[in-house]
């Protein structure tokens, strides 16, 4: 009945369209899986660096699938326009006139090979027309359904499409998930090691601060990892909110155990003279700076080691302005200084009035 070449074509006409349809859906869904894996890496595990292999893996996999899809789709579309396919269609039309045909098609429909619309000659003719006329997805379905019907008519074994379809689904998924699985293991191990190293630095700074300061706040990396780093701050004394804020120092420590940010805040007592405030703030600034130097922790910038001070221009502004007039101050090579307060008519008993020193990286 059928030649070896026609049997091979019939087999491909069943398999290739099924694979093309599967590949189309995988190409559509794979980016969503990729985004989910990135979100887990970024938001849940807090990967500290871009996972370049995983970042480019998805586009590469989709590109490969598109190449396979186009190759299979173009091949089977061209093959169904050639003489071997046309000859099989003519032979199948002849088979449709055989009285035993209806029985064969009904049995096939009962086991799920065919839909009701394909159990009639009209359904077969519609399918062969759609092979040439419909768009890609419908055309692939038409080729597959027509090929399945011809397999039944010619009493040829219908190829099992499931293993091929599952391969098209699970191979790219396994590759992508596998890559990110190794990434997750590495991220967890790296973050744990970084947290342990950074925790020792923070504990050391905390011990130094406890010798002088009254109130200390520190984030513990061993309790909660944070790829953006950790804050440790210390007040020189318990806050007296009615007179002035407690002068304090705030430090950011990164996951390499380095100090990457230093800020000082010096509370101003609006009930005292400006001269007394300046003397006290300079003394407190010296204490806070001495504590920082005593830690002897590695810093990302040598500017953090520069001792901050009140420039003459800032002293003049402070002395000539009211307690209730703030100013942004000025930027020097190593730090920026400014004065924060509130307008007198809006000033509250617990209002904040202070000088700040932001050390520049």
Separation between Cα atoms, residue 287 and residue 231, nearest integer Å: 19
Q: What is the pLDDT of residue 100?
A: 56
Rounded average pLDDT over 303-318: 92
**How much is the mean pLDDT over the chain?**
84
d(CA 143, CA 156): 16
> What does the pLDDT read at residue 131?
47
The answer to whether 151 and 14 have CB atoms below 8 angstroms apart is yes
Is the model's pLDDT at 101 over the cut of 60? Answer: no
Do 335 and 351 contact (CB within 8 A), yes or no? no
For residue 166, pLDDT over 90 is answered with yes
Per-residue confidence band for 265, with pLDDT thresholds at 50, 70 and 90 = very high
Residue 51 CB contacts under 8 Å (≥ 6 apart), including other chains: 38, 41, 180, 183
58 in Cβ contact with 36 (< 8 Å) = no
Q: Is the pLDDT of residue 304 over 80?
A: yes
pLDDT > 70 fraction of the chain, expressed in percent and rounded: 85
Q: What is the sign of the dihedral through the CA atoms of 277, 282, 288 and 291? A: negative
Residues 19-68 have pLDDT tens digits of 998 999 999 999 999 999 999 998 889 888 888 999 899 999 999 999 99
Looking at 112-121, 230-239, 352-361, which range is the least confident one? 112-121
Quote the pLDDT of residue 105.
55
pLDDT at 81 over 50: yes
Residue 295, H or E segment: helix 274-295
Q: What is residue 122's predicted lDDT score, i.e. its pLDDT?
A: 47
Q: What are the pLDDT digits (tens) for 177-214?
A: 999 999 999 999 999 999 999 999 999 999 999 999 88
Of the pLDDT bands very low, low, confident and very high (cuts 50, 70, 90), residue 99 is low
Q: How far is CA 37 from the centre of its chain?
A: 7
CB contact set of 207 (below 8 Å; sequence gap of 6+):
none
Q: State mean pLDDT over 273-302.
A: 94
Average pLDDT of the residues in 147-155: 80
Q: Write out pLDDT tens, residues 318-350.
A: 999 888 888 877 778 889 999 988 887 777 766
- The residue with tokens 């003279």 is 273
Q: Which residue has the higher pLDDT, 261 or 126?
A: 261
Cβ atoms 330, 311 nearer than 8 A: yes
pLDDT at 245: 66
Confidence (pLDDT) at 299: 95
Q: What is the mean pLDDT of residues 122-129?
A: 49
Per-residue burial over 87-119, b if 16 or more Cβ lie within 10 Å, else e, is: ebbeebeebbeeeebeebbeebeeeebbeeebb
Q: Which two tokens stand for residue 6?
A: 């026609």
The span from the CA of 307 to the CA of 359, in Å, is 10
* 228 to 36, 54, 180, 252, 260: CA distances (angstroms): 22, 22, 22, 9, 11
């Amino acid at each position: 009945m059928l030649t070896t070449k026609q049997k091979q074509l019939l087999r491909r006409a069943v398999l290739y369209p099924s694979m093309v349809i599967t590949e189309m859906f995988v190409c559509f869904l794979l980016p969503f899986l990729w985004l989910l894996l990135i979100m887990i890496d970024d938001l849940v595990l807090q990967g500290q660096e871009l996972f370049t292999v995983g970042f480019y893996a998805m586009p590469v996999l989709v590109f490969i699938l598109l190449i396979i899809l186009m190759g299979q789709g173009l091949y089977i579309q061209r093959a169904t326009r050639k003489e071997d396919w046309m000859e099989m269609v003519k032979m199948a039309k002849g088979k449709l006139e055989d009285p035993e045909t209806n029985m064969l098609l009904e049995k096939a429909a009962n086991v799920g090979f065919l839909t009701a619309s394909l159990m009639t000659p009209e359904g077969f003719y519609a399918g062969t027309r759609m092979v040439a006329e419909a768009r890609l997805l419908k055309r692939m379905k038409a080729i597959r359904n027509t090929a399945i019907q011809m397999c039944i008519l010619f009493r040829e074994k219908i190829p099992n499409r499931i293993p091929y379809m599952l391969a098209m689904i699970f191979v790219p998924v396994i590759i992508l998930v596998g890559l990110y699985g190794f990434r997750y293991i590495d991220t967890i191990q790296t973050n744990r090691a970084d947290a342990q190293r950074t925790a020792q630095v923070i504990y050391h700074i905390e011990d130094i601060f406890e010798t002088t300061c009254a109130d200390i706040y520190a984030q513990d990396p061993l309790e909660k990892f944070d790829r953006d780093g950790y804050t440790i701050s210390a007040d020189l004394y318990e806050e007296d909110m009615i007179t002035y804020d407690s002068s304090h120092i705030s430090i950011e420590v990164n996951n390499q155990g380095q100090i990457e940010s230093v800020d000082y805040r010096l509370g101003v007592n609006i009930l005292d003279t400006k001269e007394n405030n300046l003397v006290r703030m300079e003394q407190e600034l010296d204490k806070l700076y001495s504590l920082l130097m005593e830690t002897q922790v590695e810093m990302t910038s040598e500017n953090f080691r520069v001792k901050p001070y009140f420039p003459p221009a800032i002293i003049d502004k402070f002395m000539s302005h009211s307690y209730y007039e703030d100013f942004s101050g000025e930027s020097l090579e190593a730090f920026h200084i400014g004065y924060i307060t509130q307008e007198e008519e809006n000033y509250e008993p617990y209002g904040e009035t202070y000088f700040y020193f932001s050390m520049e990286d």
